[in-house]
Every structure is written in C-alpha cells, then in structure tokens.
Amino acid sequence: MDFVAKTSETNIPDILGPTVDAFVLLLEKNREEIEKIPRRTFRYGEKDRNQLDVYYPIDTSLSSAPVLFFIYGGGFTTGDRIWAEPHSLGYASLGAFFAQRGFITVIPDYRLVPNVRYPEPAEDIRDAFLWVVMDYPTMKIPGSPAPDVHNIYAMAHSAGATHLTTVLFDAEVLSEPIRSQLIPRIQGIVLNGGAYHFRQPLADPEALSHYYGEPREMTKKEPLGLLEAADGDLISRLPEILLVQAEKEPKEIKIVGEDMRKVLQKRLEECGGGRGGWKEVKLTENKGHNHISSNWALGSGEGEEWGEVVTSSSRPQNPYGRLHRYPIYSFQRGRGVSEASEGSDDESWEETPWTTTSMLHLLSYRFGTLDRPRPAELKRWQRPAQVWIPDTRGKAPRGRNVGKLANIMSIPMDVFFEITSKLCPVDILQLGRASKRFRSTFMSRSSKHVWVAARRNVPGLPDCPPDLDEPQYANLLFEHNCLACGKSRANMVDYALRVRFCKPCFTENVPRGPTLLRPFGKKTDPIVFTLLPRSSIKHAPRISPADIASDSNDITNAYYRPEFNKVVRKYLAYEDDDDRCDRYVKERQELASQIMKSGEDLIKWAKTFRISKRGEARQRAENRKASITTKLKILGWDESSFPESWESYTWNKLVDQPRELTPRKTVVLQQVWDKIHRQLEHVLMATQQRREEEAYRLRLIKRGEEFRTVYAEFVANTNQSDRLVLPSFPDARGLHTVEWLLQEDRANIPMTQERWAANLEWFMVEAEAHKQRVKRDLVQILKRAKTDHHTLRTPFAIPAIEEDPDEKILFEASAFFTCIGGYYGCQKPRRYPEILGHLHLQEGRWSPHFVEAADVAEVTEYVLKTLGLKDDITSADLGALDGRFFCLCGAPRLQPMNFVNLIQHIVEELKWLYREGYFNPETGMNNEHDLKSSTPFVVLLPLEHPSRDKDEVDAVAALLFA
C-alpha cells in the first residue's frame, strides 16, 4: 500500500502498472496460503470464454456455504479471471480471501469488445448465475461444503459493475420467469467503482460505440438509462445494493457513482422500496485505495479492511425456511417412512441427502411455479429411499377431484358393472386404488367378469394365463412401477418370468445360473434349470429365443432368484423319492414350457401394442396440429410463418402433443384454445422477428462484401503516399459513414460506386480522424519506449494521451516499429507509414496492442555516428541520401540502399548471428556487424547524381553533416 499512499495520481492508465507491480510482491509472500485454497474450473456455456473458476472453503465443519460472484472489469475490451505470470495471483487472491471466510467464490470470464455487442457480456454473466443455480451439484467437491444457491451474493468492479447492473435492470436480458427464480436467491450486491453512464469520459469512445451503437441507443442501454426506464415491479424486487468507491477514484467515476445513488434512491422511494422494504442507498468510500488497489489488496495482508466489512455484513439467509430441499410426494409401495417431527406438529418427515437436479426444470426453458415436483418429473436415480411426505391424518382431503366419485357406489351394481365393462384393465387398477370400497369390490373373485370384460376392450390381448389371476395379469401388462423398489417407469419387463423391474433390481433379482447355484453347491443336478422358465431378456449365447421348451434351459440362462430358490429346495426335498421327484420334474417342466409359450405370445402382443399406441399418438398429434393450423389461419397467420421443429421448443411442446383439440366438448375446447393461442402467437411473432433479423444479418453481410469491392477499387486508385494512411477494410467498415451506408433501409440498398462517391467527403473526414488517432497511438508507443517505462498488458485500454502530440517523433531516425505477430517475419523494423501497410494490420481493426517500438536505437545511433550525420536528422532528410548507404559486410548481391534498408539489414544480420552464435558457441563465427568494433562496417557512398549541380551538392552536405 506504500505506492497507493504516496501517489496522488488517479488516472487509471497511469496507476495501473505501478499498482499491480506493488501488490505482486505482497501476494508472492502469501502464495502458499492462496494456492492451498481448492480451485476448480467449469464451463457454463458453449462460447470460448464461457468458463468460470470456483474457490472452495476448506472448513469441513460447514455442510453448506453461501455463493459469492465476483465480476471483474477491464474497460469492455480486455480482462481474464487468471492473469499471466507474474500477475497470476491477482484474482486468485480475491477468490481465496472470500473462500477463507466461508464463501464459495465464483469468478466467471465473459466475452469482450470488439467480438460482442450489447448485451452479450451481460447475457454471459446471467448464464453463469443460472449455471451455478441449476448445476450446483456438479460443483460439489469432497472435503468442502455444498453451495447454498438460496444465498448468493454478487460483487462487481468497474466495467463488471456495468454488466451486472445491466442484468439487474434490463428486463429483456433477465426476463420472466427466469427473473422470478433467480433474483430472490441473490441476497446482496456490492458495486465497486462502476461505470453507470457515459456522459463522462470513462472508456474508449470507439469501444463504447461498437458495444452500444449510436449515442441515442447508448443513452437507453447504459445502466442509468435502464434504471430510469425500469418498471416498478422490477425495482421492488431488487436485493439490497451497496455502492463502493475508492478514496482516490478518478473524479469522473465519483460523479457517475453519485448520479447512480441519486437515481436509485429516487426509484426506490417511488416504488415503496426494494425487496424487504430497503430504501436507503449507501455510497461508501474505501479509504487509502485507488481504482485498482481495492481488489488486489485482498489476500495481500494490507488494505483488506473493506473486504472484512463486506463479509461480516453478508449473513446467509434462507427464504425457504428450514427445508433446504424441495420435498416430493412418495407413491412408492412397500416403503417405510420414519416419522421424525421437527418444529411442526402437522408434518412428519426425514431429511435424507438426495440430489436436487430435479430443480433444473425450474430454471431451464421450461419455467413454471412448481413448489413440489411430482415423481413423474424426477429421474429414477434422483429419488431417495425415504422422502418427505405430508401427514394427512385427521385432515380433510383437498384437491380439485375430491368428492367426484363419492356417490358412484350408490347406483345399482348392474349399472355400475356395465359402466366398468367399458373400461380397460389399467382403468380398473387405478379405480381400485381410489378407495377401500373400490378395492374390496374389484379384488374379489366375484368381480372376475369385470376384468374379463375390460381385457376384451384391448385389441389382440391374449387370455389371462392360468398361473396368474386377472389383477396380477393387468398389473404386469399395464403398470409401470418396479415390483421390488416401487420406483416408477420400470422398463425391464420379463413376460416369461412375470416380473417388472427397474434396471438395478432386475440385475439383482434375475442373475444367471452360476450365481444362483452358489447357495446349493456346484454338484446340484443341472436338471433344476429345466423346472422353471428362463428370462426372455437375458438370453443365453447358444440358445435361440425362439426355443420355448424348458428342457433347453441350462446354467447359462438367467432365472428369477426367489422362484429358483423355492423350486430347487423342493426338488432337493424330493430327491430321495424317485417316483415323486420324477412327477415333480415332469409337472414343473410342462408348467415352465407353458409359461414360456405364454410369455412369447405376450412379447409379440406388447410389440404390436406399442406400435399401435405410437401410431395412435402420432395420428392424434397430427389431428391436433391440423386443428391448430386451421385456427391460426383464421387469425391471419400463414403456414410459412410457422417455426420449424428446431426453432422453438415452446411451439413443439404446444403443437406436437398426442392430445386432440376435440370439437365434442366445445366449452373445454375453447378453454384449451384460449390458454394456448396467446402463447402460440407470441412464438409466431418471435419467430417472425428472428427470421427478419436473420435476413437483415445476411443482407448486411452481402452489403459488406459489396463495400469490400468498392473500397478495394478506391484504395487501388489512390496514390501510394496516401494509400498507406487510409483505414484498413475492417477499420473503414466500422466508420459511421460506412455503417450508415450499409444499414440504410435495413440493408436493402446495394452498395454501389455512385453511393460511395456521393458520401466520399464524409468518409474522408472520418478517415482523417482515424489517421490522427493512429498517429497519436504510435507517438505514445515511441514515447513509452524512449522513457523505458514498464508497460504491462492488463485488462485496460492504452493510456490516454494529449490531444495534439508532437508528431516529430514519428520522423526521427530511430522511429521504427514492429508487428507483434506470431512468426519471425513480423519482427522486421518498419517506419511510419509503411508499418500500416503490414499484412497483419490490414487484416483487422487498428489497435495499438498489435504494434510495438522496434529496438533499433543502438543500431541507429551507431550508423549516424559512424557516417557523421546529425543526431536529430529526420526521415525526410535521410531520404535525400537514398541509394548511398552501403554495408561492408560482403554479403552476396548486396547493393547500395536507403537508410531504412540499411537498418533492416543490420538488425536481421545481428538477429541471425545471435541465434547461430548463441546456440552454437563452438562455431566461432565472426561478427561482421559488431557495433562496438573500432572498424566501421557502413559507409556513405560519394554524392554523384547528374541532375544536381555543385551548389546544390554543397547545400545538402552542409545540411546533413555535423
């Protein structure tokens, strides 16, 4: 903190490098403490920068911990959650600081300008929040507490605060019903040194123009504009927000922060306060800090007081009371549920650890207000063995269907049985579970005719096998629960064994012969396998499924374990009585063959039944789609405006359902249509808008290609001296004049030479401004190189410079530049403006990050001193000596050259010699370009030119030589 205390400078570019360097030394001392905090990296989206780091507390006494998001800044254009060495501990120390204080800290990356436009970075931050809320089970690591996603806190700095407030205030970025699911989980927000409007010079104007668009659009989209336009409901649901500024913030940020406080205070008072009734907006000051130091101080041991205040005020709250998990109702059979009362006499429950991934449906594209997910919405492996259930003893039943069957048993029994004979077996099963009276009626032998009549309503269903009664037969065919554990959607149905299991229970209860023989010994007679049916799912490798005789069974087949144990014990009991044993074997083999034959018939029927059901469902879906299409046409919609199946999940969900809009119940039909047609029209309008935007995007691409051709012709017709200083195609494409030409009339007007010529004057004005901006950037690069100032590549733009720089530095003899490229050829020194014509600078938009000052000062000084030229000679004066510079190194095909070529030649030779000599010191190569040698290796050839007379020669010589 010594540097921060001593300096009074507040300009961000000027303090960035020194501040970071000062804290690097402090953080290095604590590296071991910082790096022992567990850190994991996850992806929260499909984009390259959709990654986040999670820092975990190591306090094993905590079962759960609140989540703290930190959104870093970077002037919209740069930033990373992990900086390159030696600054890699920057945000890692912040994550470790809060993790040590009990917070699971999340630091996400987001996309940056110029690769994005509004509001894509804010959408990335929103997606990071949603990923944590939805996928928090994947974040859990051994030895650390689980994330408490009901207690989330957010802290953002600089441009990160801009993006976070965009998420909070823009109802389109965080729309319903996502907002109502996410905002209640955020308990508090800290905004540190944020940029909430841009009426003050806070960021690069070019970056802001690219991100927000026109100034009018920027005024609407900046956080303060969004806050002023937000509706009252959005404001009333905001969590408490704390505004923070450093003591040595730039005055522009202080003005913007105060403006934000006033407007937020006003909106809260208008809307009756935020969530919980808070109305006072506090703006606190970090004493002793500048814009950079507050974040870097955390974990350094100095200047951490503000972080301690933030953590002490962030007390976890649970808006859902004592139940941290959503309870589910249990319809499982044969399950015991312990009754442990906690805090309430009318509820009995047992809290068991189970995955809450079922909440994904609350935060995905299928949003809904569902307090208690039903079993049908949970995957089988997500169900706990014992779950919370309501205690309804002594309470009146509730629900919309309660009482509808109360009087049905009062009708005559012959009428009642006539009604039930029109039902299917599955309907009788479900009706038997509605009440005890129904159960006693349908489960009696006297009601067999009801089951037989119901079975005949199912086409092609085989008769009930003799080894099953009617309810068992119906349960096997039409139920979906596992017979062992009771879990629903048990798809492992073995008709030969008469069982239905989930996969784990099937594996446990239907093993193969060697496993079954273990309790009885390997010497057990193999004939026991022929006494019971084998599995129709687990086939033996050498037995055909079509072979339904039990005498083909052997040890390689699978059997139902309880039945196998019973049959083997009985067989072993009869083993001493040969006659009785033979009769038992014969009876069992006949029965097993009969059961397997019946199972084969049921397999064929089930296959036919499934195909028939799918066909019926498909036909109902087509009828529903045709009905919806007809009704939408009446409302004026055309089929061409309907979305494709891949364009809209909501459309598929509403249209592609196997339920018809039947006209038989006109009242119900109208109710259903009234419920869905508004959603369908909303989807159609969104699809139409999306298609229009896509068509506009394609037209804009086409206009851009047309402009490329026009601009290339314009550049080709420009003289050589002016061509290099013209904007590159990407830079020209981003100028306002060109943008207006391309976007005019929604990009429907082709880009022609006539339109270009008509607007060329405006373009040249902007091109001149671009030229001056490039020159100013190059001047600044040379100045920093001259003063040997330590420059640090950080998440901030190039420092601001004076408006009218001294451009003479560009034309000094030592003013050379190189491209920061990926291969050797990019390091060739070039002068202004030739550097602008370099391939890499022509391929993309101008950025001073792509250019650096060439390290040729020593070579230039040597050449000027050796040739007796003035130290302050300019490039224009050196041009008068073109063709007279010569190197005495003796390189083949070397000709007299100009000054630039000479410098390039010497630099290339020195680099080559350095590579060869450094890596091969034993070669003993002679350095013919030794700058410290007393023997000069460059000469200036005599001034001989027929177009010049002696007086002119004398004048030039007097001008050039010292």
Domain span at residue 922? 856-961
Residues in Cβ contact with 60 at an 8 Å cutoff, skipping those fewer than 6 apart: 143, 144
Q: At which of 853, 883, 902 does a domain end? A: 853
Q: At which of 853, 873, 905 does a domain end? A: 853
Residues in Cβ contact with 413 at an 8 Å cutoff, skipping those fewer than 6 apart: none
Tokens of 250: 């730039």
Q: What is the DSSP letter of 869?
A: B
Task: For residues 134 and 77, state if they share a domain.
Answer: yes
Q: Are 218 and 198 in contact (CB under 8 A)?
A: yes
- Alpha-carbon distance of 489 to 379, in angstroms, equals 9
- Alpha-carbon distance of 827 to 818, in angstroms, equals 5
Task: For residues 438 and 493, state if they share a domain.
Answer: yes
Task: For residues 79 and 156, state if they share a domain.
Answer: yes
pLDDT of residue 370: 28
∠ Cα 149 151 153 (to 5°): 105
Task: For residues 849 and 865, state if they share a domain.
Answer: no
Upper half-sphere CA count for residue 144 (Cβ side, 13 Å)? 26
Task: Please give the helix or strand (H or E) that residue 147 lies within, else none.
Answer: strand 146-157
Q: Answer whether residue 653 is part of any domain.
A: no
The structure's pTM equals 0.46
pLDDT of residue 126: 94
Task: For residues 17 and 120, state if they share a domain.
Answer: yes
- State the residue for tokens 């130091």: 293
Which ranges constitute the DSSP H helices of 406-469? 413-420, 425-432, 436-442, 448-455
Dmax (CA) of the chain: 142
Task: Please give the helix or strand (H or E) that residue 684 lies within, else none.
Answer: helix 666-716
Task: For residues 813 and 924, state if they share a domain.
Answer: no
Task: For residues 155 and 23, state if they share a domain.
Answer: yes
- Alpha-carbon distance of 852 to 789, in angstroms, equals 13
Residues of the chain with pLDDT under 70: 1, 312-406, 409, 540-547, 662-671, 788-806, 821-825, 915-926, 943-962
Q: Answer whether residue 366 is part of any domain.
A: no
At 446, phi and psi to the nearest 5?
-70, -15
Tokens of 701: 């691409």
Task: For residues 838 and 866, state if they share a domain.
Answer: no
Give the CATH number, domain containing residue 139: 3.40.50.1820
Tokens of 257: 């922060």
Q: Answer whether residue 340 is part of any domain.
A: no
Q: How many domains does the chain have?
A: 4
Task: For residues 158 and 293, state if they share a domain.
Answer: yes
At 286, phi and psi to the nearest 5?
-80, 105
Burial 247-279 (b: 16+ CB within 10 A, else e): ebbbebbbebbeebbebbeebbeebeebbeeee
Residues in Cβ contact with 111 at an 8 Å cutoff, skipping those fewer than 6 apart: 47, 49, 120, 121, 124
Task: For residues 282 and 165, state if they share a domain.
Answer: yes
Q: Are 103 and 66 in contact (CB under 8 A)?
A: yes
Q: Answer whether residue 797 is part of any domain.
A: yes
Q: What is the DSSP letter of 176?
A: T
Task: Please give the helix or strand (H or E) that residue 241 lies within, else none.
Answer: strand 240-248
Task: For residues 841 and 869, state if they share a domain.
Answer: no
- State the residue for tokens 């050039």: 960
At 291, phi and psi to the nearest 5?
-65, -30
- 3-state SS of 38-104? CEEEEECCCCCCCEEEEECCCCCCCCEEEEEEEECCCCCCCCCCCCCCCCCHHHHHHHHHHHCCCCE
Q: Are 620 and 668 in contact (CB under 8 A)?
A: no
Task: For residues 100 and 221, state if they share a domain.
Answer: yes
Q: Answer whether residue 732 is part of any domain.
A: yes
* Average pLDDT score over the chain: 80
User: Residue 69 forms beta bridges with which residues?
Assistant: 106, 154
Q: Answer whether residue 619 is part of any domain.
A: no
Q: Answer whether residue 317 is part of any domain.
A: no
Q: How far apart are the first and last CA of the chain?
A: 51
DSSP 719-774: -HHHHTTSPPHHHHHTSHHHHHHHHHHHHTS---HHHHHHTHHHHHHHHHHHHHHH
Q: At which of 820, 853, 886 does a domain end? A: 853
Q: Answer whether residue 429 is part of any domain.
A: yes
